[in-house]
Amino acid sequence: MDLLIAKNSGFCFGVEKAVKTTLHTLNENKSNVFSLGPIIHNEQVINLLKSKGLIIINNIKDVNKGKVIIRSHGVPLDVYSYAKNVGLELIDCTCPFVRNVQQKANEFFNNGYTIVIIGDSKHPEVIGINGWCNNQAIIVNSENDINKVPLTDKLCIVSQTTMTLEKFQKLSRLVQEKGKSVKIFNTICNATNLRQESTKEIAKKVNAMIVIGGHHSSNTRKLAEISKKYCHNVYHIETLDELPVDKLRNIKRIGITAGASTPDWIIENIINYLNNMFNKS
Ligand code: SF4
């Protein structure tokens, strides 16, 4: 069996920084360390952080003392003002690529533009970006949402960072017809693009694809979606336990890719297992 591993896979820059900062904060502080939502969409990493004392809260108003870690997805602007008012220390791990989208939304909203975010309205990153334009953005995630965008003079289109380029281009083309003066910012992050491109490259060449990452991780799910376009046997698994060993037994070439929130140790476990199982000489 041949194993092809996607060149760009696993932890992205933003997630790596958030996990390292959280571990560092937990080493320095034995109590009252909170994160606003789970730091990443990976149960194994979350369990590790919880075992070191991290407490996950869903609302900033649930705490009034201690340190609160802002994850790479970012948060609405009012979280910063609340923290300042009650004296909470924020440890801000908002990824710089997400910050760029938040700032664009904020700047153009303040200049009278209607903001359209191409993305998933339930995703925390999109909820956060919307909070930088007074929660007045119009969220477009499919062609059915286009009619929510009013005809307007000034329109600014941004994207959730994990959106596929194909979907962003298709939807922004339709949205831009609603405005006279239109600013379009492709704010898809490079890490996402690189992972999607490397996944596409190897999915074309293999007989089965293993996509490793949290079942709730949107960027991992997108890698599985892309893989399915080029390969008929795609398995999205979170850990080694879920590896469909029997189905892989007679496969000649297996491709491996992993989402931006998948730690190296989980990827290595799976690669080692496959090598031991199928490539014993
Ligand atoms: S996927 Fe991109 S935008 Fe999101 S955290 Fe990683 S580097 Fe930042």
Q: Which of 154, 188, 222 is the last residue of a domain?
A: 188
- 59 and 103 both lie in a single domain: no
- 72 and 104 both lie in a single domain: no
Q: Which residues are catalytic?
A: 125
- The CATH number for 57's domain is 3.40.50.11270
* Nearest CA, atom 5, ligand 1: 14
Quote the mean pLDDT of the chain.
95
Q: How far is the CA of 16 from the centre of ligand 1 (A)?
A: 9
- 76 and 125 both lie in a single domain: no
- 168 and 201 both lie in a single domain: no
Q: Which domain holds residue 270?
A: 2-10+191-278
Cβ neighbours, 10 Å, residue 180? 9
* Nearest CA, atom 8, ligand 1: 14
Question: Per-residue pLDDT tens for 204-257?
Answer: 999 999 999 999 888 899 999 999 999 999 999 999 999 999 999 889 999 999
Q: Which of 95, 123, 156 is the last residue of a domain?
A: 95
- 104 and 117 both lie in a single domain: yes
- 81 and 136 both lie in a single domain: no
Q: How far is the CA of 261 from the centre of ligand 1 (A)?
A: 9
Question: Per-residue pLDDT tens for 171-206?
Answer: 999 999 999 999 999 999 989 889 999 999 999 999
Q: Which of 76, 95, 114 is the last residue of a domain?
A: 95
